[in-house]
């Protein structure tokens, strides 16, 4: 089954793997839902995962399972937190329809982390979530020590208005609001040009093109530690994690051991 959106096919992949840890659903006091994976062993590491455009909550839960399975295979106990944008199209930004950037930082993170000891915090995103992971990670490198983007919808204002006019108009309204919430501007202004970034792209022409342009922009903005990998994978997180999850986990923990 696939949900078809103009300019983007979002592939719904396989079933959930069996885990040693647990995946639970929670709601903040302000009403934001999120999935939480608790590893089978104690951990002081947290990975925030941001979902893609149009995803229902059950599919976000699958993405948590796939990511957790890779972490368990690597023997890395890491908490995974996956906030949910109930508008399904907020670009993880603060706009007219929803303020997901603020919800992540001021709603979800405080509730989750009041119960944890956190020494390492990373962020990843799939598709639209890649836009958000870049935005949050580049804006706040003091909070997120690593950024991973899986086949990200790294839109410019031009590509967003051309392929997702309803988001451009409904969430941002104009280019000035977009730029305030843009990973493009966040890259230029990033206070830590050495924050490590790992970008995977697949065979879908839209995200491949977005990824290539954004990678060049990161280089032009002086970002020093960016890895960009092209694959022939479909636009679904599962095959990316199954084929490249161990590389991503090694990236998350490089220099730690």
pLDDT in tens, 176-194: 999 999 999 999 999 999 9
Tokens of 193: 């040009």
The residue behind tokens 């929670």 is 26
Contact 60, 84 (CB under 8 A): yes
Q: Supply the pLDDT for residue 256.
A: 52
pLDDT in tens, 2-57: 333 444 445 556 678 889 999 999 999 999 999 999 999 999 999 999 999 999 99
Question: 2-252 domain in CATH 3.40.50.1820?
Answer: yes
* Rg (the chain; Cα; Å): 17
List, in sequence order, the alpha helices (H) in 7-127: 57-73, 100-103, 109-113
Q: Which residues of the chain have pLDDT under 70?
A: 1-14, 256-257
Q: Supply the pLDDT for residue 9.
A: 42
Q: Give the residue extent of every domain in the chain.
A: 2-252
Q: Supply the pLDDT for residue 13.
A: 67
- pTM (two decimals): 0.94
Q: Supply the pLDDT for residue 8.
A: 43
């Amino acid at each position: 089954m696939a949900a078809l959106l103009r300019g983007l096919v979002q592939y719904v992949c396989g079933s959930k793997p069996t885990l040693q840890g647990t995946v639970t659903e929670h709601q903040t006091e302000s009403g934001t839902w999120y999935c939480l994976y608790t590893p089978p062993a104690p951990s002081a590491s947290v990975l925030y995962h941001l979902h893609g455009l149009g995803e229902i909550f059950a599919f976000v839960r699958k993405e948590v399972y796939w990511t957790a399975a890779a972490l368990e295979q690597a023997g890395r106990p890491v908490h995974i937190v996956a906030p949910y944008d109930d508008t399904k199209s907020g670009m993880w930004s603060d706009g007219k329809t929803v303020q997901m950037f603020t919800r992540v930082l001021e709603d979800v993170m405080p509730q989750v982390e009041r119960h944890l000891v956190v020494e390492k915090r990373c962020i990843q995103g799939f598709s639209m979530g890649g836009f958000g992971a870049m935005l949050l990670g580049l804006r706040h490198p003091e909070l997120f020590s690593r950024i991973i983007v899986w086949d990200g919808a790294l839109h410019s204002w031009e590509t967003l208005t051309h392929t997702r006019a309803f988001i451009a108009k409904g969430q941002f309204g104009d280019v000035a609001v977009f730029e305030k919430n843009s990973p493009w501007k966040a890259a230029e202004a990033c206070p830590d040009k050495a924050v490590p970034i790992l970008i995977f792209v697949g065979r879908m022409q839209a995200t491949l093109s977005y990824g290539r342009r954004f990678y060049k922009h990161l280089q032009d903005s002086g970002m020093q530690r960016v890895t960009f990998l092209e694959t022939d994978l479909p636009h679904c997180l599962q095959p990316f994690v199954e084929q490249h999850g161990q590389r991503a986990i090694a990236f998350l923990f490089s220099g730690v051991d």
